[in-house]
Amino acid sequence: MNKHIAVDIGASSGRLVLGTLQEGKLSLEEIHRFSNGFTERDGSCFWDIDYLFDQIIVGLRQAKALGITECTLGIDTWAVDYVLLDAAGSRIKEVYAYRDRRTEGVMEEVAAILPPDTVYAKTGIQQLTFNTLYQLYAHDRKELAQADQILLVPDYLYYRLGGRKINEVTNASTTQLLNLQTGDFDSGLLSFLHLRREQFAPLTAPGESLGFVQESLVRQYDLPRCQLICAATHDTASAVLGVPVQKGRSAAYISSGTWSLLGVELDQPINDPKAMAANYTNEWGAYGTYRFLKNIMGLWLIQEVRRLVGERYSFAELARLAGEAEGFRSLIPCNAPRFLNPGNMIEEIRAACAESGQPVPETPGQLARCIFDSLALSYRSYLQELEELTGTAVEVLQIVGGGANNGLLCQLTADVAGREVLAGPTESTALGNLAVQLIHAGSVANIAEARAIIGNSFPMASYTPRPVPQLEELLDRWEALHHH
Ligand SMILES: Nc1ncnc2c1ncn2[C@@H]1O[C@H](COP(=O)(O)OP(=O)(O)OP(=O)(O)O)[C@@H](O)[C@H]1O
Ligand SMILES: C[C@H](O)[C@H](O)[C@@H](O)C(=O)CO
Ligand SMILES: [Mg+2]
């Protein structure tokens, strides 16, 4: 089979992308793109998982209409969120979105019972209020006890298509329940949650075949014959696979989308006390690697501003307006919990600026510039921490994902971080998803070859650092903001 389709569903949008490898070049054709997002109902936040499944079917029908009669298919989505199945394999409940406020205070409550350093030594996963560990702790215990199977979102979509129940390892690691030493769900953490191992599925690695899309679906919807290949189903794990390698230069990546995930790919985890104090994570990567990274609030900030000012402003337009606004006029501590899911992001940003005695952004351009300036300074700070924790200096920063299209943010990042930024591929997640399929098909030998092909197929934009006037003063302001 030489047709390969990546299903990449992020928190803000999803897409089905056809990958074609010809004479050493990989090309992408977007077959279907759709919006995604959670809705608030009676004070809770839910994803519409049936809508997402339906969009996959729509995309596959379009692939068939394009003449694709058979293909392989890989699925990746955002992390941590889960689906409960009953013994008949039916979904028990709506799928909570990780920005739901039910986990507020839970991390602290659990920390009073389970020492965080014990959990970090076991799992190496950063403390995020919405980790599956905390979501399950907050979940109704009776309902959890009824769950015959707990699948993460992409596992569930595979199950709906092919009937096979798995927990794919890269995404399973984001639950903060996988034990680095045993390579399985940690029995102590499961019993803390009153859960049994058999309520989870077999841990499965990227590259395994998961059978075919069920014949009943193929017939009912006139779909291609699809072999399901287990992708690196955490979208960030796929994004990292899609980052071209910089020969001879040490690089770090930023997977820049709803979140900005800044990190490096390691062969061994770093879960020592220093890494814990800096709240760096060791999410599992494909092929036995680890994604040593940090979650930064990311372009969620501008997504929310755009939602409020009106979607008549494209992201490109907001970046242009930001470019016309005064630089470093107002800054926000991007990773502060207040920005995780405020009712009104514009008011939250304005309040944060007012409270810290800074000019309050008024226009969309000023708001956007405040966000991009602040993200760039966040990247600089966390990059410095990353270098200290790994003991490796970073020469080049590779920004992939939708944020690679934001030239202003890429340039600001190069300026304040003082190193070259290489931007692209925008669709690194889909490319990493396809890479696993191509390796499974034997068309590509390994991930190193896949990354070389991606680098040769998708040119990257280079941003070299420009001098930042009064940089020292600006960094002092940035520091003060975090101790405000
Ligand atoms: N032309 C553009 N100019 C500026 N910013 C852009 C442009 N195109 C996309 N973006 C930025 O990219 C973001 C979307 O990135 P991306 O498509 O990687 O996210 P996603 O895959 O939908 O979600 P997730 O991050 O959850 O995977 C938008 O929020 C926007 O800020
Ligand atoms: C909630 C997760 O940290 C988040 O989804 C991030 O890991 C991700 O998947 C970004 O797309
Ligand atoms: Mg994405």
CATH assignment at residue 210: 3.30.420.40
Give yes or no: residues 252 and 208 share one domain.
no
Residues touching ligand 1 (Cβ under 6 Å) are: 10-13, 78, 235, 257-259, 299, 302-303, 315-316, 319, 401-403, 405-406
Q: Separation of 401 CA from ligand 3 center, angstroms? A: 6
Q: Which of the listed residues 306, 406, 411 should we mutate to test ligand 1's pocket, taking the one with most ligand atoms within 8 A of CB?
A: 406
Give yes or no: residues 290 and 410 share one domain.
yes
Report the candidate in 324, 260, 261 with the shortest Cα–Cα distance to residue 298. 260
Report which ligand 1 atom has the smallest distance to the Cα of 78: 26
Give yes or no: residues 409 and 344 share one domain.
yes
Per-residue model confidence (pLDDT) at position 1: 74
What average pLDDT does this structure show over 138-160?
97
Give yes or no: residues 228 and 248 share one domain.
no
* Atom 1 of ligand 2, nearest CA residue: 79
Give yes or no: residues 216 and 249 share one domain.
no
Q: Separation of 104 CA from ligand 1 center, angstroms? A: 27
Instruction: Name the domain boundary from 235, 252, 277.
Output: 235
Q: Separation of 306 CA from ligand 1 center, angstroms? A: 12
Question: What's the pLDDT tens digit per position in 198-216?
Answer: 999 999 999 999 999 999 9
300 lines ligand 2 (CB under 6 A): no
Give yes or no: residues 22 and 49 share one domain.
yes
State how far the Cα of 428 lies from the Cα of 256, in Å rounded to an integer.
Answer: 10
Question: What's the pLDDT tens digit per position in 363-400?
Answer: 999 999 999 999 999 999 999 999 999 999 999 999 99
pLDDT at 28 over 80: yes
- 182 CB-contact burial (10 Å; exposed 0-12 / middle 13-18 / buried 19+): exposed
- In the chain, the percentage of residues whose pLDDT exceeds 90 is 98
DSSP H helices, 222-363, are 235-241, 273-277, 300-309, 315-324, 345-355
Residue 36 forms part of a structural domain: yes
pLDDT at 484 over 70: no
Confidence of residue 188 (pLDDT cuts 50, 70, 90): very high
Give yes or no: residues 210 and 266 share one domain.
no
The average confidence (pLDDT) of the chain is 97
186 is in an annotated binding site: no
Give yes or no: residues 266 and 379 share one domain.
yes
Residue 39's SS3 state is strand
Give yes or no: residues 143 and 259 share one domain.
no
Give yes or no: residues 167 and 277 share one domain.
no
132 lines ligand 2 (CB under 6 A): no
* Atom 23 of ligand 1, nearest CA residue: 10
What order of strands is seen across the sheet that includes strand 39-41? 39-41, 44-47, 95-96
Contacts of residue 243, defined as CB under 8 A and 6 or more positions apart, other chains included, come to 251, 253, 398, 400, 428, 432, 451
Per-residue model confidence (pLDDT) at position 342: 97
Instruction: Name the domain boundary from 208, 235, 262.
Output: 235
State the angle between helix axes of 428-441 and 447-457 in degrees (0 to 180), rounded to the nearest 10: 130
Residue 432 forms part of a structural domain: no
Contact criterion met (CB below 8 Å) for 120 and 276: yes
Report which ligand 1 atom has the smallest distance to the Cα of 303: 29
What average pLDDT does this structure show over 74-89?
98
Q: Which token pair is 256?
A: 């820049």
- In the chain, the percentage of residues whose pLDDT exceeds 70 is 100
- CA angle 360-362-368, nearest 5°? 95
Confidence of residue 139 (pLDDT cuts 50, 70, 90): very high
What average pLDDT does this structure show over 345-358?
98
Residue 435 forms part of a structural domain: no
Instruction: Name the domain boundary from 235, 265, 299.
Output: 235
Per-residue model confidence (pLDDT) at position 360: 98
Q: Which token pair is 372?
A: 């991009």
What average pLDDT does this structure show over 244-252?
94
Residue 342 forms part of a structural domain: yes
Per-residue model confidence (pLDDT) at position 311: 86
Amino acid at residue number 167: N
Confidence of residue 467 (pLDDT cuts 50, 70, 90): very high
pLDDT at 38 over 90: yes
Residue 230 forms part of a structural domain: yes
* Structural domains counted in the chain: 2
Residue 431 forms part of a structural domain: no
Residue 28 forms part of a structural domain: yes
Domain that holds residue 321: 243-424+445-484
Confidence of residue 84 (pLDDT cuts 50, 70, 90): very high
Confidence of residue 2 (pLDDT cuts 50, 70, 90): confident
Confidence of residue 322 (pLDDT cuts 50, 70, 90): very high
Q: Separation of 97 CA from ligand 2 center, angstroms? A: 11
256 is in an annotated binding site: no
Residue 437 forms part of a structural domain: no
235 is in an annotated binding site: yes
* Atom 1 of ligand 1, nearest CA residue: 316
Q: Which token pair is 360?
A: 């309050």
295 is in an annotated binding site: yes
Q: What is the DSSP string of 118-143?
A: HHHHHH-----TTSHHHHHHHS-HHH
Give yes or no: residues 269 and 220 share one domain.
no
Catalytic residues: 235
Q: What is the DSSP string of 318-349?
A: HHHHHHHSPTTSS---TTSGGGTS-S-HHHHH
Say how far residue 295 (Cα) sits from the centre of its chain.
9
Strand partners, 382: none
Q: Which of the listed residues 13, 258, 433 should we mutate to test ligand 2's pocket, taking the one with most ligand atoms within 8 A of CB?
A: 258
What average pLDDT does this structure show over 67-77?
98
Q: Separation of 281 CA from ligand 2 center, angstroms? A: 12
Give yes or no: residues 152 and 301 share one domain.
no
pLDDT at 230 over 90: yes
pLDDT at 74 over 70: yes
